[in-house]
Structure 1
């Protein structure tokens, strides 16, 4: 069985690869964008099975099929909710909500084997996606996409300075104020409560490790085992206090790290 993973988050792609290997399956390759997918599929035979993330860094993965014909079975991997996915009309095998559960993955693979391999070992069933299907799904997703806040401001004297969310390594609370930390080590006060900030951020990129701090995945330089089964997060630009993942959040934090 030839397997392709299309997933823009490399840790998530590696985790899925390991999970498939435990099922005795070998992943041929993983690509991480619409562009990479088109390049790979244009120069290689369509794989038997594609694990396809819906939202990629350079667009929806359905754009791949605008550029190349794909004769593969598809299992979607996505953070979209079940309600949206039930409206899909694609000839896909299954969908897996992130973070992917090992038992659900095995069931999806078994469904593929039953539907496409046991019926006729010598014949590959076409699963081409029609333009009408793509338009319908794209419209559905555009209506269900969650919008996350991408800009924060701080007042410096008489000036207002603007920062994008991806510039911010850390949000933290101290002395009843909420601050942002930048890669240059500077900290700025913002006019928001940490509880509100948590609801505004993309949960794929940010995680609230404690009552006091929300970290950006790209800002993490190191993670160290700490007392009482907790973890200590190192962000090179921050030294105001220790960033400790509270014990009740450690499990979710580890899952988040793996995408």
Structure 2
């Protein structure tokens, strides 16, 4: 069984590769962009299965299908919410919601293996799927957080968030008023709920909104340090593997 991963974030690609190796599945190739994928498919035998991220560094992965007649089965990996995933259900496409759960990964692979002897192919309605993702509405993303404070509930609007961070196995929301609030969400869950145009996960510990960036400084080992208006408890460091993508996000 030949498998490739197409994922623009190399750490995420390696993590998926390790999870597949636990299932005794070897990944043949890892690709990281639309252009690289088109070039590869143009000159290589198509694999049995592709794990395909939706949003790549140079565009939506659907552009690959517009250039190349892909003959492989596809399991999409995505951080989009359930509403957008209706596109996959309508087209009988397997998908895995990020962060990828190992049990769900095993189920998806098992479904593929069941089809493999029959050599069943999935006809992708790319135009229909693109419509679902071309103009995602703001209602898909988190607008506010409800925080429990004793016997009361406090509403915090997304515009008031200076950053999210993890500490001692907890996840916290930090506001521009220099207040910290404990959340039930993990950073991985938040990453899928926040608008990627406005929020970026700079490291394992921090997610920051673009509007809270006060200053960006050069840091050791080719990393960057982000200075926020009020959060001073720890340095906000952009990990080295994310620097290029972070700069792209900044535009």
Which TM-score applies when normalising by structure 2?
A: 0.59
Instruction: Indicate yes or no: 2:117 matched with 1:125.
Output: no
Compared with structure 1, are the counterparts of its residues 243 and 52 closer, same or farther at alpha carbon in structure 2 (3 Å cutoff)?
same
Instruction: Indicate yes or no: 2:109 matched with 1:109.
Output: yes
Compared with structure 1, are the counterparts of its residues 39 and 209 closer, same or farther at alpha carbon in structure 2 (3 Å cutoff)?
closer
Aligned partner of 1:202 in structure 2 is: 199
Q: Return the offset for 1:59.
A: 1.0
Q: Per-residue displacement from partner, 1:165-192 (whole Å, max 9, x unpaired)?
A: xxxxxx78xxxxxxxxxxxxxxxxxxx6
Structure index of larger Rg = 1
Instruction: Indicate yes or no: 2:134 matched with 1:142.
Output: yes
Q: Return the offset for 1:237.
A: 7.3
Return the match for 2:234 from 238, 243, 246: 243
Aligned partner of 1:90 in structure 2 is: 91
Aligned partner of 1:156 in structure 2 is: none
The aligned length equals 178
For structure 1, the residue ranges without an aligned partner over 5 or more in a row are 149-170, 173-191, 223-233, 246-259
Compared with structure 1, are the counterparts of its residues 106 and 58 closer, same or farther at alpha carbon in structure 2 (3 Å cutoff)?
same
Q: Contact 2:3–2:48 at 8 Å: present in 1 too?
A: yes
Q: Per-residue displacement from partner, 1:99-156 (whole Å, max 9, x unpaired)?
A: 1111110111011111223xx4xxx333343xxx1111111112326599xxxxxxxx
Aligned partner of 2:4 in structure 1 is: 4
Q: Contact 2:87–2:128 at 8 Å: present in 1 too?
A: no
Which TM-score applies when normalising by structure 1?
A: 0.57
Q: Return the offset for 1:244.
A: 6.7
Q: Return the offset for 1:87.
A: 3.2
Q: Return the offset for 1:96.
A: 0.6
Q: What are the equivalent positions in structure 2 for 1:45-194 lying under 5 Å apart?
A: 45-88=45-88, 89-92=90-93, 94-117=94-117, 120=118, 124-129=119-124, 133-144=125-136
Q: Return the offset for 1:82.
A: 1.5
Q: Contact 1:210–1:244 at 8 Å: present in 2 too?
A: no
Over the residues paired in the alignment, what is the CA RMSD in angstroms? Answer: 3.7
